[in-house]
């Protein structure tokens, strides 16, 4: 998995009166409340709204965006129900914090091994010698569960979830297994009993509440996503003269999706945005010569089979793999039979 830097945060802890960087596009025909909810959901899922960051009050945001107080209040109510934001009496509204990592602190392990390496070097041991001894010690100590640890990744779309799972598998040991399943499959009962036997369960950060409802009594870890490096590179390589159709899967994510495309293809001037259920979809596709579509909107491939297509793919945030997934897997491995 290629490590990629986090996109610049949309929001940091700020004092009241700050101009918050949320924007509403009244030309898209998407309800303003849906646009705002989509921006916050996507921002949290993709790490652009940092965990623990303070959000503006309902009054601040309604004044800043020139929308009704009740619209913003309903958005916050929905996000609270999803567990994406929290309120603290007298302090305000914040993006919900990540759960405490299971198992020991990997940062502390880095420090311990770094200190040991420096001490060995100071006493004249080469890096090659240290590596050989360390590999031997690891082989002797490796007595985890015979069948490895099973990680379940719950996503929205089968193909994309399988792709995320393959990337995660590369970060684990060969004996560990990553299983991919969608919320839709679980709701229909497909593989639910087997899924509940997984050692570690992962959910999309903005679908955490829905996933937890399917796994009562089980700790479910939320993981965020960032645009994949191939996606960024493909957008950057587009011709400046391209007429680009930007097709979102969910109406409420259209403004955020469009902003993401603009971020990585700022040189493209002709962009026309729509979503997969829109009445204007065919018209937008006809007027453009390149299509960028969100995961879940693969239908556009059959509607315009001869035009260049680019799926806006994501990967699991490598930081979440390191700080959440790997410690949880390590903890379950230690709990296994010796």
Does domain 101-225+315-338 correspond to CATH entry 3.30.310? Answer: no
Angle at 305 between CA 225 and CA 291, to 5 degrees: 45
Helix, strand, coil percentages for the chain (3-state, nearest 5): 45, 15, 40
Chain segment 209-254, per-residue pLDDT in tens:
899 999 988 889 999 999 999 999 999 999 999 999 999 999 988 9
- How many angstroms separate the CA atoms of 336 and 338, rounded? 6
Q: Which of 91-95, 111-115, 143-147, 221-225 has the lowest mean pLDDT?
A: 143-147
Q: What is the pTM of this model?
A: 0.73
pLDDT value of position 123: 86
Confidence of residue 147 (pLDDT cuts 50, 70, 90): low
Separate counts of helices (H) and strands (E) for the chain: 15, 13
Is 5 in contact with 14 (CB distance < 8 Å)? no
Closest to 173 in 3D by CA, of 203, 144, 135, 132: 144
Q: Which of 99-113, 127-141, 146-160 has the lowest mean pLDDT?
A: 99-113
Distance of CA 324 to the CA centre of its chain: 13
- How many angstroms separate the CA atoms of 313 and 167, rounded? 12
Chain segment 34-48, per-residue pLDDT in tens:
999 988 888 888 878
State the average pLDDT for the chain: 85
- Classify domain 229-312 by CATH number: 3.40.50.1860
- How many angstroms separate the CA atoms of 58 and 79, rounded? 13
Q: Where in the chain are all domains bearing CATH 3.40.50.1860? A: 229-312
Chain segment 282-312, per-residue pLDDT in tens:
999 999 999 999 999 999 999 999 999 999 9
- How many angstroms separate the CA atoms of 199 and 190, rounded? 18
Does domain 1-97 correspond to CATH entry 1.10.10.10? Answer: yes
Q: Where in the chain are all domains bearing CATH 1.10.10.10? A: 1-97
- How many angstroms separate the CA atoms of 156 and 163, rounded? 12
- How many angstroms separate the CA atoms of 91 and 54, rounded? 9
Instruction: Summarize the confidence of residues 328-337 as an average pLDDT.
Output: 77
Tokens of 130: 């240290």
Instruction: Summarize the confidence of residues 81-99 as an average pLDDT.
Output: 83
Phi, psi dihedrals of residue 293, rounded to the nearest 5°: -125, 150
pLDDT value of position 323: 87
């Amino acid at each position: 998995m290629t490590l990629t830097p986090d996109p610049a945060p949309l929001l940091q802890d700020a004092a009241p009166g700050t101009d918050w960087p949320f924007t509403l596009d009244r030309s898209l025909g998407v309800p303003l409340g849906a646009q705002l909810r989509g921006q916050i959901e996507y921002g949290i899922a993709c790490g652009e709204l940092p965990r623990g960051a303070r959000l503006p009050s309902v009054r601040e945001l309604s004044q800043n965006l020139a929308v009704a107080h009740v619209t913003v209040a309903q958005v916050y109510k929905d996000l609270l129900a999803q567990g994406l934001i929290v309120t603290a009496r007298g302090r305000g509204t914040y993006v919900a914090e990540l759960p405490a990592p299971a198992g020991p602190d990997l940062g502390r392990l880095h420090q311990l091994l770094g200190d040991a390496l420096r001490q060995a070097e100071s006493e004249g041991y080469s890096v090659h010698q240290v590596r050989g001894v360390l590999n031997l010690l690891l082989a002797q100590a490796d007595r985890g569960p015979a069948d490895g640890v099973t990680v379940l990744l719950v996503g929205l779309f089968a193909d994309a979830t399988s792709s995320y799972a393959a990337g995660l598998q590369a970060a684990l040991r060969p004996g560990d297994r990553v299983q991919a399943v969608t919320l839709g499959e679980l709701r229909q009962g497909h593989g639910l009993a087997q899924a509940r036997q997984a050692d570690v369960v992962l959910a999309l950060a903005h679908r955490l509440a829905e996933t937890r409802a399917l796994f009562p009594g089980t700790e479910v870890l939320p993981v965020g996503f960032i645009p994949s490096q191939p996606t960024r590179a493909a957008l950057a390589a587009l011709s400046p003269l391209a007429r680009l159709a930007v097709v979102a899967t969910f109406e409420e994510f259209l403004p955020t999706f469009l902003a993401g495309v603009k971020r990585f293809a700022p040189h493209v001037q002709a962009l026309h945005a729509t979503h997969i259920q829109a009445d204007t979809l065919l018209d937008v596709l006809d007027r453009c010569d390149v299509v960028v579509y969100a995961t879940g909107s693969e239908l556009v491939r059959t509607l315009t089979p001869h035009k260049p297509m680019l799926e806006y793919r994501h990967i699991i945030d490598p930081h979440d793999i390191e700080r959440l997934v790997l410690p949880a897997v390590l903890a379950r491995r230690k709990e296994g039979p010796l």
